[in-house]
């Protein structure tokens, strides 16, 4: 769930091969779906994988039809549209949904301006100077 595939141990060990089959898979699925904690983790994992796959699909485009993305990922258009809007609101990528045209418009990554950071540092330093001058003037006035 934290994108570290190396943490997963080998699933098909020699001891477990004798029990592999559709019956065991059905039992695992039923037990996992009934457990609320496991179900929540699986839902979270599904969302994470869906977000990663959508990001990979839209990466080469600057404007793409939502139906095309849904076709590529083999999911319903409304499900893909809802997930894309959630990703935009969560700032997973910069873009907007043009629902009239049924398109996703992807913005270029905004470049951070170094002047902004240095300006904030300068203002902070000026604040410190003003504070120290205030303290000095208070001691002189007394």
pLDDT tens column, 41-50: 888 888 999 9
Rg, Å, the chain Cα set = 26
| Nearest C-alpha neighbor of 73 from the set 55, 86, 92 | 55
d(C-alpha 85, C-alpha 91), whole Å: 10
d(C-alpha 132, C-alpha 138), whole Å: 10
pLDDT tens column, 15-44: 556 666 776 676 666 776 777 887 788 888
Mean pLDDT across 102-106: 88
- pLDDT of 82 reads 92
> What fold does the segment set 5-110 form as a domain?
Arc Repressor Mutant, subunit A (1.10.10)
Mean pLDDT computed over every residue of the chain: 81
- Domain ranges, ordered by start, for the chain: 5-110, 111-142
Res. 59 pLDDT band, cuts 50 70 90: confident
User: CA neighbours within 13 Å on the CB side: how many for 29?
Assistant: 6
d(C-alpha 77, C-alpha 46), whole Å: 17
């Amino acid at each position: 769930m934290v994108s570290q595939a190396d943490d997963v141990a080998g699933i098909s060990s020699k001891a477990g091969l004798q029990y592999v089959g559709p019956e065991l898979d059905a039992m695992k699925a039923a037990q996992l779906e009934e457990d609320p904690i496991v179900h929540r983790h699986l839902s979270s994992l599904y969302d994470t994988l869906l977000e990663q796959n959508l990001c990979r699909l839209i990466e080469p485009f600057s404007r793409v039809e939502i139906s095309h993305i849904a076709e590529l990922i083999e999911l319903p258009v409304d499900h893909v549209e809802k997930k894309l809007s959630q990703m935009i609101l969560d700032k997973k990528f910069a873009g907007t949904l043009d629902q009239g045209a049924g398109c996703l418009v992807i913005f270029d990554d905004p470049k951070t301006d170094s002047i902004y950071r240095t300006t904030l540092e300068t203002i902070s330093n000026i604040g410190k100077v003003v504070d120290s001058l205030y303290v000095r003037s208070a001691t002189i006035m007394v």
